[in-house]
């Protein structure tokens, strides 16, 4: 069992949060029902090819044998469990994705509860805006492994918060609950690495929580349990990675571009190396093409690709949406325009009045910023290594954990930074208005849908 977070006193928003949680689960199940059997995903067909060749307790297909066979096998094996009960390939993959995103929502909910901010207006905004972002809604019906990776990440964050939000007691390894929690964290981190390579970026989560909460000195004192969890994950996945990837392919994190597009990749890398600074300037440019007027991103622009795919359907990569129409496009374009305002306001609040923010929101802000920067840095590194733009190396779903920053930016304007008393009437109006905005955002994005 995981350590139980400290008890929270009764709060008037507690009942509202439970209602919103129930509504969110029903909405995600409704999205699954509506999309059931409709193949969604950038590489959905190749994913199914690997699924058909992957079975429990049988040899895995060779990494080069199929288009996506180089991926670790856990997402295919989990879908195989669903398929054994409900033998429909597409639906089984979608059920796995939906359950994973529901699990991710509950894991994020547990993190906010551990921090003591779940039953507050900004906590509710953070949770339900994050869970209702268009990209996040769509991931729950995609045939891929990205939803499962997102769940392992949020679960790793939740367990890290349970363990390290307050200092572990001396001799924690002698306490069964603490020891089981550390082992569970190691298993979660290992599960992520058995699902997809980018789960590697979740390994620093326990260290990040300790550092953000209590600083570098505390990290040096308290890192033992975090090291144990990461070491366990490494021991579990290490032999698999060495035998399946490093020995035959001479790389721990290979890509199918290494052999399918070897000649084109060699030309692209030579072009990149001829002007390295120019490559970065080109990658990080803001192109003249407007995101609001585009139906697919400028694929060699980091910002254009991520911002469009976060809010809008990539028509070139995914095709037309099932219910996509002018209203859905208008809603997506509204988000494209309005959310930069939230991000600018939040950045200003952090820079200009950081000390006036409650300590918990400063700590949480550091965590989500580091996660956002880490995943974006990893994606840029991937684009540097594989600059074949027609293969769309820049996908927003690859940095899905970074969307916590979007939810944080939406919540921060609602965080009270003043010690002056607030009129009860004004407080009730503000809370009702904030909750109404969250409910509208949640229902529109799940029912329309905008992706």
- At residue 170, the pLDDT reads 81
Closest CA to 176 of 2, 388, 313, 382: 2
List, run by run, the mean pLDDT of 10-residue segments along the chain (451 residues). Answer: 51 89 97 93 95 96 96 97 96 98 98 96 96 97 97 98 91 87 97 97 97 92 94 97 96 96 96 96 94 92 96 83 74 93 84 84 95 97 96 95 95 77 69 92 91 83
Q: Would you report the helix, strand and coil content of the chain in percent, each value rounded to 5?
A: 70, 0, 30
- At residue 354, the pLDDT reads 76
- At residue 323, the pLDDT reads 54
Euclidean distance between CA atoms 195 and 151, whole angstroms: 11
Q: What is the pTM of this model?
A: 0.94
Contact assessment for residue 135 and residue 309, using Cβ atoms and an 8 Å cutoff: yes
- At residue 328, the pLDDT reads 86
Closest CA to 72 of 147, 145, 157, 152: 145
């Amino acid at each position: 069992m995981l350590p139980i977070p400290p008890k929270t006193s009764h709060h008037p928003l507690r009942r509202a949060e439970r209602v919103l949680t129930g509504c969110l689960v029903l909405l995600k199940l409704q999205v699954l029902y509506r999309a059931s059997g409709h193949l969604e995903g950038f590489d959905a067909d190749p994913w199914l090819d690997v699924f058909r060749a992957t079975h429990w307790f049988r040899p895995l297909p060779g990494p080069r044998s199929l288009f996506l066979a180089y991926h670790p096998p856990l997402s295919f094996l989990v879908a195989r469990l669903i398929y054994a009960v409900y033998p429909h390939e597409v639906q089984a993959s979608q059920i796995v994705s939906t359950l994973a995103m529901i699990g991710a929502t509950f894991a994020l909910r547990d993190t906010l509860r551990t921090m003591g901010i779940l039953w507050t207006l900004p906590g509710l905004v953070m949770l339900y805006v994050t869970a209702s972002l268009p990209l996040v809604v769509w991931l729950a019906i995609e045939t891929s492994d990205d939803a499962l990776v997102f769940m392992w990440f949020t679960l790793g964050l939740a367990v890290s918060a349970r363990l390290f939000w307050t200092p572990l007691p001396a001799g924690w390894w002698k306490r069964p609950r603490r020891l089981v929690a550390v082992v569970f964290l190691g298993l979660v981190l290992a599960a992520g690495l058995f699902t997809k390579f980018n789960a590697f970026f979740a390994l620093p989560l326990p260290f990040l929580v300790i550092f953000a909460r209590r600083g570098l000195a505390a990290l040096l004192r308290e890192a033992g349990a975090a090291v144990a969890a990461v070491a366990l994950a490494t021991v579990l996945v290490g032999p698999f990675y060495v035998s399946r990837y490093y020995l035959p392919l001479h790389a721990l994190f290979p890509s199918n571009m290494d052999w399918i597009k070897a000649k084109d990749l060699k030309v692209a890398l030579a072009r990149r190396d001829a002007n390295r600074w120019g490559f970065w300037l080109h990658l990080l440019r803001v192109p003249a093409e407007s995101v609001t007027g585009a139906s697919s991103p400028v694929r060699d622009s980091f910002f254009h690709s991520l911002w469009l795919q976060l809010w809008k359907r990539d028509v070139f990569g995914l095709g037309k949406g099932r219910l996509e129409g002018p209203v859905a496009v208008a809603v997506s374009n509204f988000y494209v325009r309005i959310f930069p305002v939230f991000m600018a306001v939040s950045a200003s609040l952090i820079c200009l009045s950081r000390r006036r923010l409650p300590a918990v929101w400063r700590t949480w802000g550091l965590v989500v910023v580091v996660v956002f920067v880490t995943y974006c840095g990893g994606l840029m590194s991937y684009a540097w290594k594989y600059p074949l733009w027609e293969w769309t190396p820049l996908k927003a779903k690859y940095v899905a954990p970074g969307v916590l920053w979007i939810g944080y930016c939406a919540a921060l304007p609602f965080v009270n930074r003043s010690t002056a008393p607030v009129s009860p009437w004004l407080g009730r109006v503000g809370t009702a208005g904030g909750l109404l905005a969250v409910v509208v955002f949640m229902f529109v994005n799940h029912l329309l849908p905008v992706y």
